[in-house]
Amino acid sequence: MLSKSQISFVNALQQKKQRKEQGLFIAEGVKSITEFLNSDYTVSSIYCTADYLERFSKLTQKVKIHEVTDAEIKKLSALTTPQHALALVEIPEKTAIVPESFKGKFSLVLDGIQDPGNMGTIIRTADWFGFEDIICSNDTVDVFNPKVVQATMGSLSRVRVTYLELQPFLAAVKLPVYGALLDGENIYTKNFKEEGLVILGNEGKGISTQIIAEVTESVTIPRFGKAESLNVAIAASIFCSEIRRKSFDIKR
């Protein structure tokens, strides 16, 4: 049985301010929760049906369980068709960023991405292509926004997302900084070397002027038709794919 105060506590976590204050975020759905349970994240509590509990009893032994009905989950959920479980997960402590930790690999940098769906899809795509790190400007949408968490489909449990002041970070890091821009080198023939950062800009405004100044190599996805631009998650995925394709070519 769900109390009114439980409902308002969980609903309040839709807001960033409340998430920060409580140190918790919402993860919905069986798959997503399983991935958080199997990760370095700490799942604080799960609201779930008796059926769910039976299926996942082994995995959830150490977690505080609230057994509820599907109708009750609906009151907690922001989804139109909620699944049989909703978890509250602890927001990890911020760890200091060591620029050296980005050497020898590729990472994504997001400059002001606003749409939760785009953000979540970028995290999921990064996870598919084996990019472990995403660096975000402080004005990028909050990664613990429930819509972002949902769109990552569990990949948030594996990809490390860090918010920071981008400009000083980029100025300090000694790596190639690839910018997704309209007038750069053709991505298909571009040599990506062995390491670097790939910057993707805001949905409407692109990469901000201050950050463009830190780009060492402009790269463009050639246009064959007439659309004015690509969705930012699509652009991110083509960068991830091209970088991996080329490493694959090398390994053959």
Residues lying near a second copy in the complex (CB under 8 A) are found at 31, 117, 121, 124-132, 151, 153-155, 158, 188, 221-231, 233-234, 237-238, 241-242, 244-245, 248-249
Q: Name the 3-class secondary structure at 41.
A: coil
Least separation in angstroms between residue 160's CB and a second copy is 12
Please, are residues 73 and 86 in contact by the beta-carbon 8 Å criterion? yes
Cβ-based nearer residue to a second copy, 92 or 188? 188
Q: Which of 81, 88, 46, 43 is nearest to 67 (CA)?
A: 46
d(CA 108, CA 115): 16
Least separation in angstroms between residue 123's CB and a second copy is 9
Using CA atoms in the order 27, 29, 35, 36, what is the torsion angle rounded to 10 degrees?
20
Least separation in angstroms between residue 2's CB and a second copy is 28
Least separation in angstroms between residue 70's CB and a second copy is 19
Cβ-based nearer residue to a second copy, 67 or 130? 130
Q: For strand 43-48 and strand 85-90, is the pairing parallel, antiparallel, or unpaired? A: antiparallel
Cβ-based nearer residue to a second copy, 133 or 214? 133
C-alpha torsion sign, points 144, 207, 234, 132? negative
* Residue type at position 58: K
d(CA 142, CA 252): 39
Cβ-based nearer residue to a second copy, 17 or 226? 226
Query: Residue 45, Cβ neighbours under 10 Å: how many?
Result: 17
Least separation in angstroms between residue 226's CB and a second copy is 6
Please, are residues 120 and 149 in contact by the beta-carbon 8 Å criterion? yes
d(CA 60, CA 48): 11
DSSP state of 99: G
Least separation in angstroms between residue 244's CB and a second copy is 5
Cβ-based nearer residue to a second copy, 3 or 191? 191
Cβ-based nearer residue to a second copy, 5 or 191? 191
Cβ-based nearer residue to a second copy, 15 or 229? 229
Least separation in angstroms between residue 143's CB and a second copy is 16
